[in-house]
Amino acid sequence: MKRSEDIEDRLFKSIKIKEKYVSVVTILILVILWQWITYFLRIPEYILPSPTDIVSSLIRSKDILWLHSLTTIYEAGIGFIIAIIFALVIAIIMNQWKLFKVSLYPLLVISQTIPIIALAPLIMIWMGFGSLPKVVVVVIVCFFPISVSVVEGLATVDKDLLDIMEIMGANKFQVFLKVKLPYSLPSFFAGLKIAATYSIMGAIIGEWLGAKRGLGIFMTRTMSSFKTSDLFAAIIIVVLLSIALFKIIEWVGRKLMPWNREL
């Protein structure tokens, strides 16, 4: 039995490794094709820079990009942490008291129908142009996927397990700690991974509308000066930051839930 499980694990790992190679090769082919098109069609750099132009911009502007990245990471990180805490509290409250779920859940859904790009200017008017409005934007965009994922995870706990805990005389806190929390962890981390990519985007949107430092304001300045290669360089930084945060959450999820292969 153990031997068959070992073989299954090896097959699973080999398939996963092959999938990674396929994605890397696909990206390389697209980059080579991109370089070829810009070179042979002689597309101007301000319209579509080649990959080599973008790499040159990354190297040339690495110091200023680093400074702007630190600001964006700070705003996204603080907003993300606050969103996690706020979402967990609201999700637990909605799970424990059905009246709150009935009254709050529709409001959560309605809040997501408002485009954040339309709401961000109001936040800037109310809170100024410092880091606070950017953090608030990040909280708004990250709160919904985390809270909904936790609410759905808590709602899908096996009722037989809850009945067993009730028969054994467990109180609400023990039921939550021993059954509901572990059962909802996969949903929680699924929401975290979605929110992680939103956090960087939320900070960027806030910076677009007004900031002294950050990748968002760097992008607006490069757009107005037609430095398209610098703009692409900033986009690459945003992508790398989002992927890094996604992978960190994935790694933490594997450590906390070694039984869950979906992470």
* 232-248 pLDDT per residue, tens: 999 999 999 999 999 89
Q: What is the DSSP string of 62-118?
A: HHHHHHHHHHHHHHHHHHHHHHHHHHHHHHHHHHH-HHHHHHHHHHHHHHTTS-HHH
Q: Within 13 A of 47's CA, how many CA atoms are on the CB side?
A: 7
- In this prediction, residue 225 has a pLDDT band, given cuts at 50, 70 and 90, of confident
**What average pLDDT score do residues 136-160 get?**
85
pLDDT of residue 260: 66
Predicted pLDDT of residue 82:
94
Prediction pTM value:
0.80
User: What is the distance between the alpha carbons of residues 30 and 25, in angstroms, rounded to a whole number?
Assistant: 9
What confidence tier does 2 reach under pLDDT thresholds 50, 70, 90? very low
Cα–Cα distance, 53 to 199 (Å, whole number): 28
